[in-house]
Structure formats: C-alpha cells, structure tokens
Structure 1
Amino acid sequence: MELGNLSEITGALTALLALVAAAAAAWFAKGQFESSEKQLVEVQKQVAIETERDLSAEKEKNREQASQISAWLESYDWKTLVIIQNSSTASISQVEVAVNYRHALKGEVANFKLSTLEVQMLPPGKFLWMKIPDGDDFVPDLCDSGKQRKVINSEAKSGWTTARYYDECAHGSPVLNSPRWKINSLKFRDAMNRSWIRDEKGLFPQGESD
C-alpha cells in the first residue's frame, strides 16, 4: 500500500470518528436537554401547586375574622330587632345592615320598608337594636321588662334604638323564611381594614359578590 493511500485512509477514518463523536455528543446533549426540560416542567407544576396552596391559605386567613360576624332579625311585639354578633376577638368598624323591616301595628296589614342600621365600631359580643316605627315617641325598653320609654333625639334621628347587650335584654322571636322581612346585606370592615359583605349569596370581599 502506498504511503499516500494510507494517509487518505487515515484522514477518512479520523473524519469518520469525529463525525461519530459529534453525533454522540449531539445525542447526549439532546437527552440532557429533554431531561432538563422535563425537570423544569415538573418544577413549574410544583411551584404552581404550592402557590395555589399558599393563596388559598392566605384567603382563608383573611376570612378568619369576617366569617365570625353575623346578623339576624327577631320580632318583638311586631317590632323589628336587629342582632349582630361579633364572635371574634377584635372589633369591626363601619358596620351597615340593610334591613327590610315590618311596618305595622299588631292586627294591621303589614307593609315593609328599607332602613339601614349604621354602627361605627362594634366590639366582640352580641348586641341588639330595635327599629323605631315612624312617628313613635315611645318604644319598649327590652332591658327593663319591656316598659315603655321615651325615644331620645339621637334615636329619633337614626330610626334605631341605641345598642344594648343581647344577653341583658328580653329577646324576640327569630324571623325565619320571610321573603320580605329580612336582612338584605351586612357590610363591615375587619380589624385589618378589609371590607366585607354578607348577603344571600354568602360572604365576600366587597366588590366580589356579583
């Protein structure tokens, strides 16, 4: 075999080996890339799961106090009582209770009007208010055996009696299953100054109940 032919053969083998090495490197790199890509997808999925879990936990934490605020109606001698219960350990503020209240004397045909009870600050506890019928100068004092008492100026202006502790006063009968005699909504700010609304649809941050 001539020396020139041997050099050509050697060069060809060298080129072939280089091509094989390059192909092997490319195959290995592709495998590594696919493996890394799969790992990245798995990491992204895990991050998404953890993020959703954290958001859910944060949402529940934010609702912790709000879920402990409730309100309902009672009837006492055909008058409307609003009871608000703050079962949390902190005060709430800017409370607004929109009420459809029964406006009629005993034995009369009932008609209903809308009124809003407003409370600037409500500490923990259970409290009641009575809706003062239009034009009434006297109301039952639920904390004094139901005796009649004169309506004071601030009550006449707001249309509601001053707040009293529920457990210290006479109670009415719960108003149940009435499509008209009801609380339309309860709005308030929690201890972290977040705004909430409770209505027929449930409990929501204000602006999310629609």
Structure 2
Amino acid sequence: MLIFLDESGDLGFDFSKHKTSRVFVITLLVCDSHAVQVGFKRAVERTLKNKLNHKKNKRRRVHELKGTATTLAIKRYFYRQLPGSGWRIYALTLNKRRVEPHLQTVAGKKKLYNFLARHLLEQVSFSEDLSRVSLVVDRCKNQEEIRDFNGYVANQLEALLPLNTRLDIDHQGSHESAGLQAVDLFCWGIWRKYAYRDLEWYGEFGRHIKFETHYLREPAGQ
C-alpha cells in the first residue's frame, strides 16, 4: 500500500493578512498496489506530454502538475487517464478560526499538524496480510520538523498496522512523485470547496473520497 500526503492552505492565524487562509486541508491518496501507482504515473506523464508540453507549445516545459496552475479542462483530462479502481481519498479540513490560542504558537502548530495527520491516518483500513506501507510526504519541512513528523507518525501508525507490516516514510519533492502531484490536485479541489464553495473540480473526483471531515466546523446556524 502507498499513501501520499499533501496539504492546502496554511497554518497562519493572522487573519488581517490577505493571504492567510481560512481553512487548512490535509489529504491522503491511498493506492492499494504498485500497479495502481504506475497508473497514476502514466496519467501524469500523459497529461504533461499531451496537454502542457505538446509540440505546439513553445513556452518553457512544465515538469509537474499543480492544483493552482492547472486549468479545469486539463484536470478533467488527467482524471480520465486514472485507474478506475484501487485508490481512494481521505481528507480533513480544519476551520482555523476555532483553533485555541495555545495551538497557534510555533510549538502548538507542530502539535496541531501532527494530531490532524494522525487523525486522518487512523481512518485508513489496513488488512492483516499487508506486507508494507509506504507513506510519501511532500518535502516542505525542515530537518527538525521531518524528524518530529516521522517519529510521531511512525509511533501512531505502527500501533494501527499489523505486527508484520513494514512502514516506510519518505519525504520527496513533488516533481519526483506522480502520487504527490495527484494528491496536490485533489487537495486543492477540496480546499476550494471549503474556502470558496467551488465544487467544479471537486465534483469530478468526489466519488473516490472514502472519508471527509470538517474539523472544528462552525455550529449549525452560524
């Protein structure tokens, strides 16, 4: 099993700044097998070749798919190239306005992020005969944050995994991983849903969402 993790938005809490997001989204793309992962790799390669780097395009070459920089038409093309089954999406959206002040500090944000990632990973089902789980995370943290994340998530995941299941955690650049590029596209679509009520892209892949939650959402009527 391969799990790709990405996030959209930020964990800043100065809402007077225009660029501070109102929500923060963590998304998992779970692939049941290496064959499914290869299917995602081919989908990314075809989309780059046929839609972004075709011969008529005289601009600089595009090396990866990004949710913010890819048109809806290209996203739809990418989705049509994907395997029909063997993968699913898990997503958690945090309402940042209801986060307690002690979790808005530097140390508090680390604790909050690790808690949210663990909560999402707990929703994934692991079969007893699973030999290996590879968790691939976008390389956007510094070395200290990587050590903290690996230690925390490894402890939490190993408690959920069958005894003989091997766990690997790898931090990669998104340009190196088709799975990370795919989960970036999905994560961006989920973020758009909660930040702007934009369902255009979300509606295309929504049937593959296995678990979705809005954490600390506003009470009904507010």
TM-score (structure 1 length as normaliser): 0.28
Greater Rg over alpha carbons, structure: 1
Q: Name the structure with the higher helix share.
A: 2
Q: Name the structure with the higher strand share.
A: 1
TM-score (structure 2 length as normaliser): 0.27
Which one has more relative contact order, counting CA pairs under 8 Å at least 6 apart? 2
